Amino acid sequence: MSPDILYSTLATPILEESTDLDERLATPWKVIVLNDPVNLMNYVVMVFRKVFGYNDTKATKHMMEVHELGKSVLWVGEREQAENYAYQLQRWRLQTILEKDD
């Protein structure tokens, strides 16, 4: 059997190309700071100002939420940036978690 005949009897594969949007990447993420018994209020305000660039009023509002409610959502957006903020807050020794935004 010649190679030409063998080649002509093989089926040519059909390639389907499709691009699916990964919904998990498009889902916004929340950066949440939890209350802890260690950090002083003025320290937490200072960290929020440094990490997020919040003014004193906004940083104090979030600090009071953490103090009174046990947590505060500080930022919502893309996962990569949320992870960056969480990393920075954790380096300042604040208890931080990420959650998908509903």
What does the pLDDT read at residue 17? Answer: 67
| CATH no., domain 24-100 | 3.30.1390.10
pTM here?
0.75
Q: Can you list the residues of the chain whose pLDDT is less than 50?
A: none
What does the pLDDT read at residue 92? Answer: 98
Q: What are the residue boundaries of the structural domains of the chain, listed by start?
A: 24-100
Sign of CA dihedral 62, 64, 69, 70: positive
76 vs 11: CA distance, rounded Å: 51
55 vs 14: CA distance, rounded Å: 58
Tokens read off for 78: 């893309």
What does the pLDDT read at residue 26? Answer: 76
